[in-house]
Amino acid sequence: MSYQLKCAVWEFTLRCNLRCSHCGSSAGIPRSNELTTKECFQLCEALAESGCEDVCLMGGEPFLRDDWFSIAQCIKALGMNLNFASNGTILDRHIDKISRLRPKVVGISLDGIEESHEVIRGKGNFQKTVKAIDLLREKSIQTTVITTVSKLNFRDLPKMKDLLFKKGVNWQIQVAAPFGNFTREQMLSREEFYATALFIAKERASHRFEDLPLVGADCYGYYSKFLPDVEWKGCAAGIRAIGITSDGGVVGCLAMGNDRFIEGNIRDKTLKEIWENPNSFSYNRKFDATRLGPNCRDCKYGAKCKGGCSSMSYTTTERFHNDPYCFHAIEEEVIRV
Amino acid sequence: MANKKLQEVGKELGVSKKDIANIQKRRLKGKLLRPIMGAIIVACSSGLGFWVGKATSDGGYPYAAPGSAFVAGPKREKGAFTLVTVLFSVIGFALAYWAGHHTGHNDFHNGILYNVFSRRK
């Protein structure tokens, strides 16, 4: 079976000006051997040749790389969609260049109202992030606010809604999973997780999508009896998506939190060789129902859903296809629907 | 919804019993409306196919205006009449299937946004 790469999430540098308490990358200091500008151009070409449609430059903080603009230009020139994921704190220095590039989406991390955002991301950063969102809107650049929820900030969601309502930005909520800097103790309980899903469903039912374009990330789902239309056909890692580390490692998803899932390095092999290797991404490509973990083994949707989000499953249970943060399972075991 | 802890947390996030009823209503609406709309599209398409097929095979649809193209149209074999009806039904089904996939709301994943950003930040 052949797989078509659609989306690459590229850890452009591990260098970051913030030290966020939930950062899965434990970003701050760049990796010792990050890709050179020339290698980045070569990678862009390899991505375009493979038919990749979307490239998302994230970090660390992507705008801390001196050559970010020329590499972003290269992505555009090769006909791929350009996206950024940034903490927003230094975006004002680069806004004109970003605007010239016309990215498809710029994701900005906002993890609560001022107090909790700054507990997680450090003092003095909230206003800078809000300013970045305003600047992007002024330039009519499609913007997605990304909120990573944990025990530290999930209670802020209603206030964040007031902040983002009719602001003309998308809002993606995702769950902090225990890897990198983030500890298991701060992770949402299953009830808290389900309550945040109810919040999303409530807001979606209460407002026009244009007024509050709110979505849950891939970690929200699956096959609920109660919440509307949550369909999931398995994790995209290695199926249509990859992650690339700043030193050239290729993984199915950057959120696995473990280097053992690096399938190869573009310094040693071509991207095509890694992607087309029949043994790459075997946890997803060689999936069959016998691989389902104990949480999913007896579920009637198991074969279809393939055990939920690989990142949530692996980081919480140390195995794939076993995601305990699953609407269907929570409804069956924890609540009565 | 029987779990007390969930109710408490839900309340903190501003999710009331009324909101839960709305969520259920939205789900039910989605579940009912889509097959109903699909069935209407298939029925209309089949009806149109039947009308066109009849008009072009037996010399004219009874309610066609005198001198209309359908009345004057070339006579077709009975097989062609069936073929046209079936063809329109298939097109109708395909249209309904497509519409069903593109009009349903999905509160948790979005084709444009969901796979662009890693969950790592």
| Model confidence pLDDT, tens digit, residues A180-219 | 999 999 999 999 999 999 999 999 889 988 899 998 888 9
Is B118 in CB contact (< 8 Å) with chain A?
Answer: yes
Average pLDDT over residues B78-106: 71
CA atoms within 13 A on the CB side of A249: 18
pLDDT on residue B23: 85
| pLDDT greater at residue B115 or residue A323 | A323
Q: Please indicate whether, in this complex, the C-beta atoms of B13 and A336 are within 8 angstroms of each other.
A: no
Give, as one character, the DSSP assignment of residue B113. Answer: T
Among the residue ranges A102-116, A253-267, A274-288, B13-27, the one predicted with the least confidence is B13-27
What was the ipTM of the complex prediction?
0.80
pLDDT on residue B65: 52
Is the pLDDT at A139 greater than 90, yes or no?
Answer: yes
pLDDT on residue B39: 81
Under 8 Å between Cβ of A100 and A78: no
Is the pLDDT at A127 greater than 50, yes or no?
Answer: yes
Chain A, nearest residue to B119 by Cα: A255
pTM of the entire predicted model? 0.86
Is B111 in CB contact (< 8 Å) with chain A?
Answer: no
Chain B, nearest residue to A226 by Cα: B24
Is the pLDDT at A292 greater than 60, yes or no?
Answer: yes
Is the pLDDT at B100 greater than 70, yes or no?
Answer: no
How many CB pairs (< 8 A) connect A and B?
180
pLDDT on residue B30: 72
Is B100 in CB contact (< 8 Å) with chain A?
Answer: no
Sheet strands side by side (includes A105-109): A214-216, A170-175, A143-149, A105-109, A81-86, A54-58, A7-11, A241-244, A249-251, A264-265
Is the pLDDT at B121 greater than 70, yes or no?
Answer: no
Which residues in chain A have Cβ-Cβ distances shorter than 8 Å to B105?
Answer: 204, 209, 228-229
pLDDT on residue B113: 46
Longest dimension (CA), chain A: 57
Average pLDDT over residues B62-89: 60
pLDDT on residue B89: 79
pLDDT on residue A298: 95
Which of residues 230 through 259 in chain A touch B, CB cutoff 8 A?
230-232, 236, 240-241, 243, 253-255
* Predicted confidence band of residue A259 (pLDDT cuts 50, 70, 90): confident
* Predicted confidence band of residue B120 (pLDDT cuts 50, 70, 90): very low
Is the pLDDT at B40 greater than 90, yes or no?
Answer: no
Average pLDDT, chain B: 69
Q: What are phi and psi of A83, to 5 degrees?
A: -135, 150
A294-336 per-position pLDDT tens digit: 999 999 999 999 999 999 999 999 999 999 999 999 998 877 6
Alpha-carbon distances, residue B26 vs A33, A194, A203, B23, B105 (angstroms): 51, 18, 12, 5, 9
Q: How many CB atoms lie within 10 A of CB A296?
A: 26
Which of residues 1 through 60 in chain B touch A, CB cutoff 8 A?
1-3, 5-6, 9-10, 12-15, 19-20, 22-27, 30
Is the pLDDT at B115 greater than 60, yes or no?
Answer: no
Average pLDDT over residues B20-43: 79
A66-105 per-position pLDDT tens digit: 999 999 999 999 999 999 999 999 999 999 999 999 999 9
Among the residue ranges A109-113, A313-317, B64-68, the one predicted with the least confidence is B64-68
Which residues in chain B have Cβ-Cβ distances shorter than 8 Å to A158?
Answer: 13-14
Taking the C-alpha atoms of residue A190 and residue A328, their distance in angstroms, rounded to an integer, is 12
Is B112 in CB contact (< 8 Å) with chain A?
Answer: yes
Is A192 in CB contact (< 8 Å) with chain B?
Answer: yes
Average pLDDT, chain A: 94
pLDDT on residue A333: 83
| CA distance, residue B46 to nearest chain A CA (Å) | 29
A8-35 per-position pLDDT tens digit: 999 999 999 999 999 999 999 999 999 9
DSSP B58-112: SS--TTSPTT-HHHHSPP--HHHHHHHHHHHHHHHHHHHHHHHHHHS--SS--TT
pLDDT on residue A322: 97
pLDDT on residue A135: 98
Pairing of strands A241-244, A264-265: unpaired
Average pLDDT over residues B50-78: 56
